[in-house]
Amino acid sequence: MAFKNISEFIEKLEELGELRRVREAVSSEIEISKITDAESKKPGGGKALFFENVKGSKFPVATNLFGSDRRMSLALGVKSLKNAGDEIEALTKLSPPKSFADIFESAKKILPLIKILPRKFRGKTAPCQEVVKTGSGVDLSEIPVLKCWPKDAGKFVTLPLVFTKSLDGKTSNVGMYRLQIFDKNTTGMHWHIHKDGAHFFNEYKEQNKRMPVAVAIGADPALIYAATAPLPRGVSELLLAGFFRKSPARMAKCKTVDLEVPADAEFVLEGYVEPGELRLEGPFGDHTGYYSAADMYPVFHVTAITRKEKPVYCATLVGPPPMEDCYLAKATERIFLPLLKTVFPEIKDYFLPWEGVFHNVAIVSIKKEYPAHAQRLISGLWGQGQMSFCKGIVVIDSDTPPDDLEKVWELFIKNFDASSDVAITKGVLDVLDHSAPDPLFGSKIGIDLTRRVFGEPPRKTRPLPPCATADKIADEICAGKGDVFAKNAFCAIAIDKCGAAGRDILREFASNKIFEGFRAVAIFDKSVDITNASKTLWKIFNNCDPSRDILFFNNAAFIDACSKNSADGHPREWPEELKFD
């Protein structure tokens, strides 16, 4: 079913038992976040939360609205997230008609798309403009914006739909860029350099012109998702939302800027960004599970706040996975699979582990057809849109489900040949990646675990000898002072590096015969629970620069997943992991 606004969605969640109301008085500073974090960590993502009584505000707050497979599927009107890309795949498979019957069949699929184009609101007063405040009446403190983590620089709007358009007005965009509240009428505008909003801003900056911006908070759930989707530049997020809604978005003209916003939004912030005006924004507890560093970003000046008579403030909390954004990312994974297949038809499926925080790791299954096919695919994926930020790509055969990590690990144990299966290169990284010595640029790794085909040399593999026990390793390597976990040819060691370079420790371990039975040996900071597979994967995927932190020796991978410092050749400040007091 299609939801006209977020309130209808919340009502449906309550009807289905997917919503928990919190009636006690709570603070928008940290307290709501702590409750939300605990709820989102429950099996299956917990419940959506509706805080009725927020201290110092007359507006309720909703969080974790999309934090489960069921709620995210409901938001998009699909049976499950596995089916989220089915309709798009059907459209990509349309063939040129060969008969009148084919023409009519194709028309049945294409003509409904005309009905999803955005439409102007025709009523007297748009719901999002039932209350209008402009000029000196603007006061952002009236909105119960959350301070999410203890060391955040302030309160941040975390679920905003940011509306911008190109300088010539021909192209528009809806993105989701956090807003740090600076004072009653200014915020930060945290768009990364590769985002469409930043691209438009550069156009205005080159002409030294003020850029209009509008921000909607709380729209229909399909549009909220669409604002997070990695669409190609020029493709409308409003169309994607309409595609899932099966109905058009109703758009209302802003009061003080030349932009349109969803007529059914809960709150709307109107304003502008001045070219050349930057202000320190952050730090902020980000979806990587670490605080992203403070940096200089444009300033958003708010000229008007419009809202419903009785709005709901919608927010999301991001941090160490699993959290609500994991389910938004899972939807993206499924929706964009058919589009990825149009470029790489050999792909059967792919999987983005939550522990890779969406942009660090991809496991791709293919129907292999020729020598070096896996290597060619890896190189191709690194040149495709958001996949260009992917730090590690593993390619497997199509008969192995990429989301079955145990089977993928078995392939690594049986098939891996370090002399032929590894490709390490350098390229662009996501701005939030903290592991590389330099921002935005670092190393990437591709691993081929597919079966050999004619024309490829055989792998130099041999059966692994029996593994040493964790106790034996702890006694010999750590002298009883370190924690060791060993299972299924993987060894995790929690140690204090004591200022030593991680690569020196890896070399020492690689030369020690006690590790001969292992396919991978990883070191972690002492604070890490190395018996928790999800936690260790998260640390490996996020804390490693492949060329510096992975050493291959005798077909085994030795990995430094610890925090880094100058001894490791890491000049940047290492971010602090998110946690509540």
What residue spans of 111-236 are helical by DSSP H? Answer: 196-206, 221-226
Residue 394 and residue 533 in one domain: no
Q: What is the DSSP string of 485-517?
A: EEETTEEEEEE--TT--HHHHHHHHHT-GGGTT
Is 577 inside a domain boundary? no
pLDDT at 387 over 70: yes
Dist. CA 85–CA 47, nearest whole Å = 25
Dist. CA 246–CA 260, nearest whole Å = 20
Counted domains in the chain: 3
Residue 364 and residue 286 in one domain: no
Catalytic residue, candidates 37, 152, 264, 286 = 286
Dist. CA 412–CA 390, nearest whole Å = 20
Which pLDDT belongs to residue 479? 65
Domain with residue 404: its CATH number is 3.40.1670.10
For the stretch 141-165, what's the b/e string if a residue is b when 16 or more beta carbons lie within 10 angstroms of its beta carbon? ebbbbbbbbbebbbbbbbbbbbbbb
Is 555 inside a domain boundary? yes
Is 457 inside a domain boundary? no
Tokens standing for residue 484: 């060791």
- Residues 118, 222: contact at Cβ < 8 Å? no
Is 551 inside a domain boundary? yes
- Residues 88, 219: contact at Cβ < 8 Å? no
Instruction: Tell me whether residue 106 is exposed, middle or buried, using C-beta atoms within 10 angstroms of its C-beta: 0 to 12, 13 to 18, 19 or more.
Output: middle
pLDDT tens, position by position, 260-315 = 999 999 999 999 999 989 999 999 999 999 999 999 999 999 999 999 999 999 99
Is 293 inside a domain boundary? yes
Mean pLDDT of 174-179: 95
What DSSP state is assigned to residue 256? S
Is residue 286 among the annotated active site residues?
yes
500: left (phi over 0), alpha (psi -120 to 50) or beta: beta
Domain with residue 279: its CATH number is 2.30.110.10
Residue 469, Cβ neighbours under 10 Å: how many? Answer: 12
- Residues 274, 210: contact at Cβ < 8 Å? yes
- Residues 422, 547: contact at Cβ < 8 Å? no
Which pLDDT belongs to residue 203? 93
Please report, for residues 34, 519, 553, 559, 571, the alpha-carbon distance to residue 506 in angstroms, rounded to integers and kept in the order given. Answer: 38, 14, 10, 7, 20
Question: Coil, helix or strand for 286?
Answer: coil
Dist. CA 329–CA 66, nearest whole Å = 11
Mean pLDDT of 161-190: 95
Is 462 inside a domain boundary? no
Mean pLDDT is lowest, of 42-51, 102-111, 161-170, 195-204, for 102-111
Dist. CA 110–CA 114, nearest whole Å = 8
Residue 128 and residue 187 in one domain: yes
- Residues 508, 523: contact at Cβ < 8 Å? no
pLDDT grade, residue 106 (50/70/90)? Answer: low
Pairing, β 550-553 against β 556-560:
antiparallel
Residue 219 and residue 122 in one domain: yes
User: What is the H or E stretch that residue 170 is in?
Assistant: none
Residue 114 and residue 249 in one domain: yes
Mean pLDDT is lowest, of 356-360, 513-517, 527-531, for 356-360
Residue 508 and residue 548 in one domain: yes
Which pLDDT belongs to residue 442? 93
Please report, for residues 269, 299, 302, the alpha-carbon distance to residue 181 in angstroms, rounded to integers and kept in the order given. Answer: 12, 10, 11
Residue owning tokens 């809960």: 266
Residue 15 and residue 47 in one domain: yes
pLDDT tens, position by position, 307-335 = 999 999 999 999 999 999 999 999 999 99
Residue 10 and residue 159 in one domain: yes
Is 332 inside a domain boundary? no
What DSSP state is assigned to residue 573? P
Q: What is the DSSP string of 428-459?
A: E--TT--SSSBTTEEEEEEEE-SPP-TTSPPP
In degrees, rounded to 5, the angle at the alpha carbon of residue 312 between the alpha carbons of residues 309 and 316 is 155
Looking at 314, 332, 362, the residue that finishes a domain is 314
Tokens standing for residue 431: 């701005």
Residue 252 and residue 357 in one domain: no
Which pLDDT belongs to residue 30? 97
User: What is the H or E stretch that residue 109 is in?
Assistant: helix 100-110
For the stretch 330-348, what's the b/e string if a residue is b when 16 or more beta carbons lie within 10 angstroms of its beta carbon? bbbbbbbbbbbbeeeebbb
Cβ contacts of residue 529 below 8 Å, gap of 6+? 535
pLDDT grade, residue 91 (50/70/90)? Answer: low
pLDDT at 102 over 80: no
pLDDT at 230 over 80: yes
In degrees, rounded to 5, the angle at the alpha carbon of residue 241 between the alpha carbons of residues 235 and 243 is 90
pLDDT at 403 over 60: yes
Which pLDDT belongs to residue 98? 56
Residue 197 and residue 298 in one domain: yes
Please report, for residues 72, 106, 364, the alpha-carbon distance to residue 90 in angstroms, rounded to integers and kept in the order given. Answer: 21, 10, 21
pLDDT grade, residue 80 (50/70/90)? Answer: confident
Sign, CA torsion 530/531/532/538? positive
Phi and psi at residue 507, to the nearest 5°? -60, -40
Measured in whole angstroms, the distance separating CA 152 from the mean position of its chain's CA atoms is 19
Average pLDDT over all residues of the chain: 91
Mean pLDDT of 34-53: 96
Full domain range(s) for residue 396? 344-448
In degrees, rounded to 5, the angle at the alpha carbon of residue 290 between the alpha carbons of residues 486 and 576 is 90
Which pLDDT belongs to residue 464? 86
Looking at 414, 448, 482, the residue that finishes a domain is 448
Mean pLDDT of 428-453: 93
Mean pLDDT of 366-378: 96
Beta bridge partners of 558: 521, 551
Give the residue, 12 or 117, on which the prediction is more confident.
Answer: 12
Measured in whole angstroms, the distance separating CA 45 from the mean position of its chain's CA atoms is 16
Is 214 inside a domain boundary? yes
Return the closest-CA partner of residue 387 out of 345, 421, 346, 339.
Answer: 339
Residue 364 and residue 511 in one domain: no
Give the residue, 103 or 436, on which the prediction is more confident.
Answer: 436
Please report, for residues 231, 436, 510, 562, the alpha-carbon distance to residue 565 in angstroms, rounded to integers and kept in the order given. Answer: 36, 11, 22, 10
Residue 186 and residue 290 in one domain: yes
